[in-house]
Every structure is written in C-alpha cells, then in structure tokens.
Structure 1
C-alpha cells in the first residue's frame, strides 16, 4: 500500500526505471490499492452478472424518526466551484424539489483537500443536519468524521468517490469501475492503434474512484490490448493550470512516442486537450478522458478530441438525494436489491451497499451539443 503515496516525481522516476512502463507490466499499478480487479470481456460482449454480496455499509445510531418528514441535508463534495460538482449540486436540488420534503445545500472547500473537507463535515455535524452527502477526497482519511456523523444519528450517503464502506450507509456508484475502464481503454486503442504509447493525468494517487479506474484500466488493457504501452501517470490535483502544465510536460518529454493522454478528472481532460491544442499535436496525440460536455465542446468540434467518457453528473446528484430520502424513510434497508430514484426509475443495489447509476456514456461530435452541463 505504501506505493499509493508516492509523489509525482517519484512515480515518474519509477516509470523511467521501467517498473511501470507497459499496460501489461508485471504487478499492479504503483498507485493502486489492494482490491482485486475484474476486467470485462474484450469487444462488445455483455458483462457477467456480479455475485450478490452481503451489506457492508454502516448504520446511524439512534437516528431520529424522520420518515415522511422534512429533512435537512448538506452536500459536501471534493470541492465546489467546478463544472462537475456544480452539476451534481443541480441534481441534488432537482431531486429535493421533486421529493418536496428535503432541504438541501451544497458547501465545501474550494480546493480538493481532504483536511478541509473533513472540517466542513465536522462543522455540519456540530450545527446539526439530518443527512450528509459526500464525494470523498480520500476514502480512509474521511472515514472517522463520517463515522462520527453516524454515531450522532446522522444519515450518510456517498456518491462519485467512496469512503470505506462502514463509514456510510450507501454509495451511489456512477458506473462500474471496470465499465469505465473498458470504455476508456477501448477508445484509446481505437485512436492510437493497438501498440500506442499513452500517459495518464490524474488528480492524486489516493483519490478513490480514480485509483480504481486506473487499476481496472491496467487489468483490462493487459487482457484485451496487451501491446498498449503505459509511459507514466502524473498527479495534477484538481487544478486546471497544473493539469495543463503536466500534460505539456508529457508532450515535451516523450515527443513522438506519446500517442495519447488519459484525463482522469473533469479538470485534467479539458486541460490536456488544451495542452495538445497549444502544442499543435491535434491528430497526433489523442485525448481520452472523463469530463463534462460543456468543457469539451470546443475540442470535440475542432476534432482534437474524438470522444468523451462520462455519466450524467446531474443524475448522479439526483440519485444520491433519492437514496438519502429512502434511507431516512426506511424504504431502503440492508439486503434490498433496488431503490426507487424518481424520474430515473429503479436503480440496482450492487456490491452489498452500492447503488448503480448505470453504464458510462460516450459524448462525441454527433451528440455533445444535446447536453448542457
């Protein structure tokens, strides 16, 4: 596990030393965790159904009976002020309006710093709320304050980026980690060729969802695109300037060898596309990543980016709010297999205590203008 906490410079040094230079290199990605990977089948084959798992979430202690009554919920994402979490916040407000007896607000740090996120959550525990929604900057570091909330009778539901399961009741998973991995790697192989060399710009090696996506990408690439060459992975926080600079450094460092960049965040992907554009490398360096359509429209329309992988973050916030309401009302209990999510219909429970939003969506030139977030 200690390798998860390597600095960007150290990770780059390891990559240059040949310890993680290929997608099918022996051992795990240096930033990975201890969880097993489950790569999907190659090509277009259907995913095998997951085996049911026992509920592994936590439970609030002596929670007030608020079934059918108005509840006050605070949403504390990784950070506020970026398009992605503006979209999840909109979904939360849309759901609160549709439900009618939920008062919700979004508040949090302006930088993706776990210590700041913990302070915000702790302050709302003290001031008193009925429920906390969160997207974790670090799955382990956030756990104690979430467990504190549960101990105070506050309902806790995660979305986008998980905590350790016992620190919250439910987690709304935007898409299976292996599904995101398959979509990303297949798109990169299509654009660079089966033997293309790529690099990754992520936020931090400890950000839970990104760490899992990358681990699954490595496993899927080894299985289905074994000749893809993984150059290195660099950190850029959730910072636009740093993401642009890191992508520019990758372009300059690897030259003609670099055929593609994966952006693992809604900040890193457009910043990487801008770096490729400024370097005059459109058509030579593919950019494949997770981002909101509005941020990527200029690059898609200029043909610098062919496709963008994401889910609808508005729906993600919407679903999390319905899950919170159902948990408070006692309509979603350990052992249940689905939950009603309003206009989204019934969503399935997977992995014991996760709610699955759905498969990833591919935005491209033909459909990206249909979306506004």
Structure 2
C-alpha cells in the first residue's frame, strides 16, 4: 500500500474503526442519550498512553452499508488485514440491501455478543442511533467510517477525505470534461446517506463560484446503491434531459452502472461521466473512451486505518481527544481532529495514464 498524502498517482484511503467503551479502557466518556435521537458528542476524557501496546484478542466487527457492495468488500478486507496484524478477532456482518434501518438488527446482535468494537458505515444518520447508543452503554466501542451517524451516537469517525475536498474534486473533474459549460446531473446512492448528502450540498455551493457560471445542475436522482436502479436512473436522466452535458455519480455502484449504460448508448463520448469508483470497476470504461477521469481513495486502506484506529482507542493509546496521535501500521501516524474525526487525505484521480497501476 502507498502511504497517505499522495494525490493523482498515489492511492489514499480514509477509514475508521470503532473502539472499546469507557468501562473497558477507561478512555472516553459516553453520551448519556439513550433515546436514539443522538445529540452533541460528549467530550472525551481520560489519560491516553501512546506507548501502550495494542491489546491482543480484540473482537472487531465490520458492519458495512451492504455486504454485496464491491467497495465495502475491499474496504472490509483491508480491515481484516489490520486485525490480523494486531492479533485480533475479525468478522464482517451486514445486510444485502442498503435500506435505512437494515443495520439495526446486526448492531443489536453484536451488542449481545459483547463485541469489543463495531465499525460501521451508516445507511441513515438517525435510524441506527438508538442501537448504537445501546451498544455504547453496554460497553461496545462504536466507530463510523465512510458515512457518519450523529456524532452523539459514536466514539470516532474516520473520514475517507474531507467533504469539501470531495465536492471540489468532483466539480473540477466534470467542469474540465464538459469545457466549463452545460447541464449536469447527479446520480447519488440512497436519499438519506450522510456522506452523499454532505457532498451534494457542497457541490451545489461549489457551483456558485464564478468559474462555474456556465454549469447548471438540473437534477439529483438516487440509484439506492443498486446496479439496475442506477442503470435505469441514468437512462431516465438522458430521456428527461437529452441535452445533458455530464453526470456526476459519487458512489461506486452508481458510477459503474452509469458507465455501463453510456458505453452501449448513443451518448458514449457525448455525455461526460465522473464520480467515485474503483479502478477495477471502471478500467474498461476508461479504456473504451466512455469515462475520461474519476476519483476515489483506496478502500482497502480505508478499512486498514479504521481497524488500527479502533485498536489504538481500545488499548488506551488514544481517548478521542483532538490532537492525539496514533500509528496505523504501515500507513504511519494520524491525528485526531475535532469531534473525534480522523481524515486520511484527499481523493486520487484515475485516468488512462494511471489506472492500470492499481488493482482494487
């Protein structure tokens, strides 16, 4: 793996892993909210011991948005690599559909099994709050990665990149590809996905800048992170807006489905497409001219960093206080930001010149 801090030619990740409860490590003060509504995150307290070894045998469970999503398959495998490195016990559980409440029963089961660490990417910021707070009250460390929940319902969040950097990247890419003018649309994942909505809001703000005066955002549609629905939504966009210049799809399922539709249609080479995708998904569409460039971080590093963050927290190396640092295996040192957020770095841009250098 390549380390953090590399853009356009190095792979970046961003991730997060959950960590042990106060009773287990004497680290973070829990939020007393038990009604599932969340609220302001409690300020972490307690002494950190950066020299403490990682505890052996930590049980770490990854709960992705959906287990059949290629993006999370790669991310969770990176988490498993890290857990194996520090001699923990790894498992992956989760729903096959990314609906709002589909993760709740898995959280409840993991809580009952006295799992040390739950690492989850929330399908909905509110639907999982009650279950996550129940887990925290039972002594489970809760860390979100990729898509956050209410900060009052978790202990740490590892962000793959800042929302601002992703929004800037996506608008810059589509602007370059359509010559700075024309109608564009966004093909998102689920309507309630925390990360997607944050990115879309910031993309709207980015489009208000003078340099993007010639670009008009005409629609936002949702493929629910389902291949066929995303394919159909792409088709629907082009029927509704035959003069569409480009599509931005900041979801790996959506951008691959949109590329598949465009590659077999009259719009290939005429309608630009960018978004967030994996090189292995998008390689054929870059080589056949359907897609010029897209972006992502390395999801394997996302999971890897998540696991080490959780292990560091669970072992008392960190307690969640802003400014504390820890070492994430071969990725090196990371620093905790405000509200327990850990950011890996900006996304990497993939195009015909570098896409064959990556395999994920």
Q: Is the 8 A contact 2:132 2:153 kept in 1?
A: yes
For 1:348 and 1:260, locate their aligned partners in 2 and report how far apart those are by CA, in whole Å: 37
Q: Give the corresponding residue for 2:293.
A: 307
Q: Among residues 78, 83, 93, which one is paired with 1:96 in the alignment?
A: 83
Deviating runs (4+, > 4 A) in structure 1? 64-67
1:192-220 per-position Cα deviation (integer Å, ceiling 9, x unaligned): 12222101111122100000011111111
1:357 — aligned with what? 344
Deviation at 1:64? 6.0
Residue 352 (structure 1) shift: 2.7
Compute the displacement of 1:334 (Å): 3.0
Residue in structure 2 matching 1:131, options 112, 117, 126: 117
Asked if residue 166 in structure 1 is aligned to residue 149 in structure 2, the reply is no
Task: List runs of 5+ in structure 1 lacking aligned partners.
Answer: 1-56
Q: Does 1:266 align with 2:252?
A: yes
1:88-130 CA-to-partner distances (Å, cap 9, x unmatched) read: 111011111222x211111100110232211111111112211
Greater RCO (Cα-Cα under 8 Å, separation 6 or more)? 2
Conservation of the 8 A alpha-carbon contact between 2:313 and 2:320 = no
Matched with 2:283 is 297
TM-score (norm 1): 0.81
Supply the RMSD in Å over aligned alpha carbons: 1.7
Q: Quote the Cα distance in structure 2 between the aligned partners of 1:325 and 1:336.
A: 17
Which residue of structure 1 aligns with residue 198 of structure 2?
212
Q: What 5-or-longer segments of structure 2 have no aligned partner?
A: 1-17, 27-52
1:330 corresponds to which residue? 316
Per the TM alignment, residue 367 of structure 1 is displaced from its structure 2 partner at its CA by: 1.1
- Partner residue, 1:153: 139
Q: Distance in 1 between matches of 2:196 and 2:19?
A: 23
| Equivalent position SS for 2:229 | helix
Distance in 2 between residues matched to 1:318 and 1:67, nearest whole Å: 15
Asked whether the equivalents of residues 223 and 233 of structure 2 are also in contact (C-alpha less than 8 Å), the reply is yes
TM-score (norm 2): 0.84
Residues 58 and 165, structure 1, Cα contact 8 Å, conserved in 2: no
2:230 alignment partner, one of 227, 233, 243: 243
Conserved in 2, the CA contact under 8 Å of 1:236 and 1:268? yes
Match of 1:60 in 2: 21
